[in-house]
Amino acid sequence: MFAVRLRVFIDWHIERGRSVVVEKPQSPAAKAVFDAMGISPRSQPGGEDDTIMPVTRLTEFPEVEDVAAQTREILEYQLTDVSPLGAAAFMAVSELCANAIDHGRNSLGAYAAVRRISEPRKMVTIAISDLGVGVPEHIRQRYPEWREDGWAIAHATKENVSGTDDPHRGIGFSAVLEAALTRSLHAAQMDILSANGHCRLGVVQETDKVEVFPAPRFRRGTWITYDLISV
Amino acid sequence: MPYVYALAEHGRTLATRPLGEMLREDLIEKAAGEEIVELDFTDVLGASHSFADEFVARLAEEAESDEVGFAVTLVGASDDVERVIRRALDRRELSLPQPA
């Protein structure tokens, strides 16, 4: 999620006509700043091989088709140690990215990244964000009584609950979790942060649970991290 | 002879509601005047729930209410794809006839 946040931050400033210079932590300029602050940044774990999809900006639905297909094919044909997660990852990327573009409309679009992590357990982690209206405000278009942001997010993840009037919409989150209810997964955990809400959806060995926490701070848009942990 | 609509020609993974809507409109136009349409999912690796709802379930709904003038059947779907499609049909309390 850090890489997604960084890319959103950079694009947001560029869109406003500001100049952005990105320095690697090892560069002399960045090192001088870190030294002055007494900070020693550690390297990110893993390497290039762990990137299934780099941080990608999505503005149109055909791009979602492409990244969902790419994610599934890389997982199923190239990364055999996590290939059983391919179907669940495909469902997550397709449904959550489409939601981000559909409900999160804003000038920047949506951002997504997919990565494999090998230690301590084999897993695939997916990060998706947008700077749109956010889940709580969207869902309150239809359910204004759901005032608390965390619980508004939790309700929005239930099947056929949607901010639209179409009774057949609102299947995205439930479809993603349904795809995780499989024996090839040890567990799945989705953290959704939006406005002042933080909702965590968990699936452990074919049973699911919902938790709501106070968000550390207000967040514009919707920020989702989804971890699929292999058996 | 049924009219066969091969989904794999449009991608081995079918992921979004807008794609489902586009293919449904394409199929309705191409299958005008046909009595039976086979939705052929051979070689399709995956389909999302939103795609399945927008393409198959809405098409089945329109076929059932005689809006499109043809019946729809499903062929060639893998277990994964068929599970998603059956779920989409269940949500709308629909089913598809088995191909002859």
Q: Give the tens place of pLDDT for each residue, B29-50.
A: 999 999 999 999 999 999 999 9
- Least confident piece of the model among A6-20, A63-77, A185-199, A210-224: A6-20
Q: Which residue has the higher pLDDT, A19 or B51?
A: B51
CA-to-CA distance for A96 and A179, rounded, in angstroms?
A: 13
In angstroms, the Cα distances linking B44 to A69, A128, A174, B78 are 11, 25, 22, 8
**What pLDDT shows up at residue A172?**
85
List, in sequence order, every beta strand (DSSP E) within A80-184.
110-117, 123-130
pTM, rounded to two decimals: 0.86
* Residue range A45-58: mean pLDDT, rounded: 76
Which among B12, B16, B49 has the least Cβ separation from residue A171? B49
* Residue range A130-139: mean pLDDT, rounded: 91
**Pick among 3.40.50, 3.30.750, 3.30.1490, 1.10.3470: CATH of B3-91:** 3.30.750
State whether A87 and B12 contact (CB < 8 Å): no
Q: Which residue has the higher pLDDT, A214 or B99?
A: A214
3-state SS, residue B67: coil
- Domain ranges for chain B, please list them: 3-91
**Pick among 3.40.50, 2.60.40, 3.30.565, 1.10.3470: CATH of A48-230:** 3.30.565
Whether B72 and B57 have beta carbons less than 8 Å apart is answered as: no
Which among A98, A168, A175 has the least Cβ separation from residue B92? A168
- Domain ranges for chain A, please list them: 48-230
Q: Which residue has the higher pLDDT, B98 or A195?
A: A195
Neighbours of A156 (CB within 10 A): 27
Using an 8 Å CB-CB cutoff, list chain B residues near A62.
19
Across chain A, mean pLDDT equals 86
**What pLDDT shows up at residue B24?**
96
Give tens-digit pLDDT for A85-133.
Answer: 999 999 999 999 999 998 777 778 899 999 999 888 889 999 999 989 9
Given pLDDT bands bounded at 50, 70 and 90, which one contains residue A43?
low
State whether A68 and B19 contact (CB < 8 Å): no
Considering A4-13, A52-61, A188-197, the range whose residues carry the highest mean pLDDT is: A188-197
Residues of chain B with pLDDT > 90, as a percent, come to 80
Judge whether residue A193 has pLDDT over 50: yes
Sign of CA dihedral A19, A20, A26, A31: positive
Give tens-digit pLDDT for A61-77.
Answer: 999 999 999 999 999 88
Q: Is A118 exposed, middle or buried (0-12, 13-18, 19+ CB in 10 A)?
A: middle
Listing DSSP states for A14-44 in one string gives HHTT-------TTSHHHHHHHHHHT--PPPP
State whether B11 and A175 contact (CB < 8 Å): no
Using an 8 Å CB-CB cutoff, list chain B residues near A64.
15-16
CA distance B36 to chain A (A): 26
**What pLDDT shows up at residue A48?**
46
A225 forms beta bridges with A127, A191
CA distance A25 to chain B (A): 38
Judge whether residue A210 has pLDDT over 70: yes
State whether A65 and B46 contact (CB < 8 Å): no
State whether A90 and B51 contact (CB < 8 Å): no
- Least confident piece of the model among A7-16, A92-101, A106-115, B15-24: A7-16
Which among B12, B50, B87 has the least Cβ separation from residue A95? B50
